[in-house]
Structure formats: structure tokens, C-alpha cells
Amino acid sequence: MRSSHTGSPRVRAGLAWAAALPLVAGALALGAPAADAAGHDGGRHALLGTKPLWATKQADQGATADSAAVSARVYLAGRDAKGLAAYARAVSDPHSAAYGKYLSAAQTRARFGATRDQIAKVTDWLTKSGLKVTGTTNRYLTVTGDAAAAEQAFATDLHNYRKGGHTYHAPSTTASAPATLADAVLTVTGLDNAPKLAKHHSGELPPPEDVFRNSGPFSSYYGSRTNKKLPSAYGSKAPYAVKGYTGKQLRAAYGAKKWTGKGVTVAITDAFASPTISKDAATYAARNGDAAYRRGQLSQVLPNKYTHIDECGAAGWYGEETLDVEAVHAVAPASDVVYVGASSCMDDDLIDSLGKIVDGHLADIVSNSWGDIEANETPDVAAAYDQLFQQGAVQGIGFYFSSGDNGDEVANTGTKQVDTPANSAWVTAVGGTSLAVGKHDTYQWETGWGTQKALLSKDGNSWAGFPGAFNGGAGGGVSKTVPQPFYQRGVVPDSLSNSLLKGRMRTVPDISAVADPNTGFLVGQTQTLPGGKLGYDEYRIGGTSLAAPVIAGVQALAQQARHGVAIGFANPGIYQRYGTSAYHDVTDHPLGAGRDLAVVRVDYVNGTDGSKGTTTSLRSLGKDSSLHAVVGYDDVTGVGSPSAGYVSSYRP
């Protein structure tokens, strides 16, 4: 979905407790500048991807009125866009002589940032075209005006198109900039206005959502409690789902040992901000055995105001921030955590949050539990994201994105596709597993996260429709837009990367951690209780929204192990360790071929208490749509999950 706010609304990637909730980016291939027959600079520089796929002849409703309002962003290419990408690769590749030779934020701006001359020339072009420049940063210019001015500036006609029962305007041909500005203009976003911009609000956020509670019985660790009276599944009695793993259990599972993340800062980006995060995080740590927060250990960088509050479901993002903060602290209890909230769930606002981290180098590790389906992304916005990710890479900043919660997305969208920004070649895509931590915090096994759900029959003697319908799973698969990056060569099988017959393409994910809400993490949050009062409560949660901050926490431990030296963009190093003892090689049948696994789960019908009764269901594990966790790299778990040897493998 697009917006005249020049971006798509993003969805929380995980936050799955009953069923997983639904969850941008390849490099933009810039067009070559053209010249007229006399060799003058009167040609145009194509800004590829600016005409959306839904702007078809069949949907065309005619020209947009000249007076129609347009709001857009013109992203600046900077001094050396190709050089930025090349240095981002070199500084991240352990085989490169430039590996680890990071630049400071100031050095990055000086070497690759936009010049005053570029900004001045782009401003002059836009204003002479009849657009008003309403804001200027070192990354982009914001402009407003009417359709006639936008058409003149970008040498395209705006037409009205039918999309999803509504009419929106969009470029009828690829937008362009003057050839003389080919080295200055990266792309433009916002020339289409789907969906219609929501009204700005005062900035006052709504109260927390209604309380969600898990119903017992629970296992305290995997397999600790089983009801022998329930029907068997796969030849045995399935145990009850855990109440929710805690930091102690996750640290044991992923080899934390003595490492705590001391001296490392992890940033988290989401939309909006929980008004009770500091209190909730402190309460949760005290109740569940995590280290108390030091003064200043948890901080927030927030916008001046919030927008799209209703459209984005602002209150639902409070739980996302809470999960991310508490998961990072549980795994890396000594690391600093800085939350950088976006003013909405739109691309532009999320890009601004990421930009704050890069421009201020607020952290070396950035956890992001949000995204969208690849079909909703366009190369113009992808280029803006990738520029940020590359700038981060040259500074030693790594970005970690949830891979999604709907498996191959067929059940959700009808089309097999990956999620974004996890599809970017410049981020670490984090997939999901179902995790079994046993007695005395011992790691037992993991499967790829993919769940089928079957309800207990009315007579209690069978699981109706066993094994049941697909109920959520880790996102993965092959990008339709992003070519295979160098670090995946020789590791990702051609049978996966070339499955679209377009040549080798980017395959998702890269690495994985616990995500299954049936083997999930215990989280604590202030919620709206029955009767309308606010109160702290705890519940089990999952989704790749959990996996991303868990991996971010593990990376903080690894960075501490290498004496604080930044890991930066982690993928080349992650794939360099493929096939070693650094990983659990996760498969869907960890106990052997043909031995399927499941847990029993009891849920309140109303999600709060037993007043409306409960339902009992069997959740089969390792059933991720058409995706499969197999020996070696796979499109559910990537190279696997961190093992006891992962953190220590970073020691110099």
C-alpha cells in the first residue's frame, strides 16, 4: 500500500499469541542519463520503480486534475552512490582488506553524503517546476504542490487508477529528473497517493489495548506437564505449551555463557511508543530473574508528534516495543538499549527513525520487528532503505529484520512471496523456530516454526481434522526483485535461489531463533484490564518479532566477545560460519525422520478469563506452509540458530 505520506504502512512482524499476525528492499538500478541529438544535457534521468505495478491500462480512469495535491520526497544520491555500495561490501566482508575499517558518521557524510551544491541544484529544479520545498535534510527534500507542477518536474503524467475499490493517482510512466541531476537524485517517493493520507492528530496516543492472558495448564519447561487423558498425537501424548520462556532459558539455549553484552548498545525501531515501557521493563526484570536496569541503560528517542494513529493501530505497537526491549535485555542484560520510535507506521517515518540511528550512530546493532509483503514494495522506496543500510554498514552498524509470520504468504495473500525489508541484500533476515528447552535449562531441539492447529473434538476423544490448518510460520523464500548477494553464493542451494527461473535471487532468511508463540517468550506489559483500569500483566508471545530481538541480543554478546569491536553488517560473517559448530542445524524432524512433534494449548475464548470458557487445541510443529527446515541451509531457518559455539566464534 502507498500513501501521499510517501510510504507504505508497516505491520508489526510478530506479536503472535493466538495466531501469528501479518508482517522493503532491493537496490535500485538507476537509469543512464540521456542527451539530446546535439549532445546537450537536455535528456532525462529515469527514476526506476516510480510507476507502481497497479497503475495498469485496465485500471486507468484518465488524467488527474491539474489542481490535485501532491506531497513527495526527493531522496538525494549523495557524492558517490556506487562507491558507497562498494565500500559497504568491502568493510563487511571478512575476506576484504578493508574489513572492519569503519567510518564515523561524520566521515560517512563527508565521503558519501549529499553536497551543498547538489542540494541547491535539486532545490532550484523543484522550485522552478512550481513545487514548494517544505523541508531539507542531508538525505532528502520534501515537496508539496499540485499535479501540474509534479508532472512538469518529473516529466510524467499523473492518472487516476482503480485499486481495491478505490481511486488513486499515480505516474502513468516512469518519473525522471533532468540528466544534469543524475548524480544528485536517487529517487522520488509519493507521486502516488494510495492509500489516502490519514489526518494528522494532536500526538496524544491511545491507552493500551485490552489485556490478553494465556490459559493454563502450562509446562514450566518443554515436556514438564502432560495430560494423559487427552488423545495421542504422532504416537504419543503431547505436552502442554510452556508458560513462556525467560531470559535464563533463552541464554542457555543460545550459548550466552558468561557474556552479557556489556559495552554494547542495541537500538530498536518500531512505530509510536509505549507510555509505560520503563516501568514495565523494570517490573518484568524483577519478576523473572533478569538483571535490574542501570540508570540510563534504557533510553528513548521519540518524535515531536505522532500521525496515522488510527490507521496504524498505535496501541498495538506498545506490545511490540515491550517485547523487543524485554527480549534484548533478557538475552544481553548488560547491553544498553535505545528505542527510536517512528511517528507512524509509514515508510517515510520509519526511514526517519533509522536515519536518526545512522546519522547519530546511536548503536551498532539495530533490531526491527516490522515489515510488509514484497508485492507492496516498489524500487523507489527500496532504494531509500538500502541507501540507509549501506551508510550504516560503512559505519559498522548492522540491521536485523523479522522475516515474517505467514510462511510463504500464500495463505495470507494467495501468492508465494517474501517479506520486506527482510529481502534487502543489506540486512540480516531473521527466521523463526520452535524451541524446546528442557529441565535444568538444557537445549533439547528446534524445528522450523510452522504450526498446524487442530481443536479437541467435542467428545474429547480425538483431534478434529488432525493435523489441522496452517496457523502461522516463519517467513521465507525467494525474492522476486533482489539478486543473490555475494555472501549467499555456495551456501544457498540453486534449487531454492533459482526457483523462480530468473537466475539466482536473494533467499530469506539468513539466521533464526525462537519465534513459535507455542514455545514463546514470557513478556510483561501494562494493559487495559476488564473494567477499564490499567494494570501490569504477563503473557506468552512469539512471532519473528521475538526472533529478531533475540538475535540482536546474541549479537551484542558476540560483539562483547570480540572486545567491543563492531560486527557491523553481519551477513558475510554469518555465512562464513556456515556448517560449523557455531549453529544448530535446525530441521523439521530433529528426533529423526517421521517423528513429528506437537504441543497442547488451552486458550480463553475471550482472551482474558474463563467466563466464556476455554478451547483446547493441538499445535503440530515444523509445518511451515510450503517451506521446509532441512539439513543445511533452508528457507525457514537460514543457516540455523546460534549454538553454544556461536558467541565464542567471534573472539579474536
pLDDT at site 48: 85
Give 393's contacts (C-beta < 8 A, 6+ positions apart).
88, 89, 91, 92, 426, 568, 569
Rg (CA), the chain: 25
Report pTM: 0.92
CA 424 to mean position of chain CA atoms? 10
Buried residues in 101-121 as b, exposed as e (16+ CB within 10 A): ebbebeebbeebbbeeebbeb
Which class does domain 247-650 fall in? alpha beta
**Contact status, residue 507 vs residue 517, Cβ threshold 8 Å:** no
CATH 3.40.50.200 segments of the chain: 247-650
| pLDDT of residue 207 exceeding 80 | no
Q: Specify the pLDDT at position 34.
A: 36
Strand partners, 336: 265
What's the mean pLDDT in 171-191?
95
State the cell numbers at 443: 537445549
Q: What is the pLDDT of residues 463-488, one digit of tens each?
A: 999 999 999 999 999 999 999 999 99
* Integer Cα distance of 301 and 322 in angstroms: 15
Using an 8 Å Cβ cutoff, are 126 and 32 in contact?
no
What pLDDT score was predicted for residue 379?
A: 84
CB 493 within 8 Å of CB 631? no
Q: Evaluate whether 175 touches 191 at the Cβ level (below 8 Å).
A: yes
- Alpha helices, DSSP H only, in 577-637? none
CA distance 522 to 502: 42
pLDDT tens profile 224-254: 999 999 999 999 999 999 999 999 999 999 9
How high is the pLDDT of residue 375? 86
Query: What pLDDT is attached to residue 370?
Result: 94
Question: DSSP string covering 547-583, please?
Answer: HHHHHHHHHHHHHHHTTT----S-HHHHHHTTTSTTE
pLDDT at 18: 36
CA distance 508 to 607: 33
pLDDT, tens digit, 9 for 90 and up, residues 545-599: 999 999 999 999 999 999 999 999 999 999 999 999 999 999 999 999 989 999 9
Would the pLDDT of 460 be above 90? yes
Question: Residue 566: what are its φ and ψ, rounded to 5°?
Answer: -60, 140
CB 384 within 8 A of CB 23: no
Position 33 scores a pLDDT of 34
| Contacts of 125 by beta carbon, 8 Å cutoff, 6+ apart | 153, 177, 178, 181
Instruction: Please say whether the beta carbons of 141 and 73 come within 8 A.
Output: yes
Per-residue confidence (pLDDT) for residue 252, from 0 to 100: 97
Alpha-carbon distance of 337 to 270, in angstroms, equals 13
Tell me what pLDDT residue 314 has.
92
Q: Say whether pLDDT at 24 is over 50.
A: no
Q: What is the mean pLDDT of residues 331-353?
A: 96
The answer to whether the Cα torsion of 113, 119, 120, 122 is positive or negative is positive
93-151 pLDDT, tens digit each: 999 999 999 999 999 999 999 999 999 999 999 999 999 999 999 999 999 999 999 99
- 13 pLDDT tier (thresholds 50, 70, 90): low
C-alpha angle 592/471/238, rounded to 5°? 45
Is residue 352 classed as helix, strand or coil in its secondary structure?
helix
Query: What average pLDDT does range 613-618 have in this prediction?
Result: 98
Mean pLDDT of 327-352: 96
pLDDT digits (tens, 9 = 90+) for 369-405: 999 999 888 788 899 999 999 999 999 999 999 999 9
Whats the size of the chain, residue-wise? 652
- Higher-pLDDT residue of 236 and 7 is 236
pLDDT over 70 percentage in the chain: 92
Residues 161, 61: contact at Cβ < 8 Å?
yes
Q: At residue 631, what is the residue type?
A: V
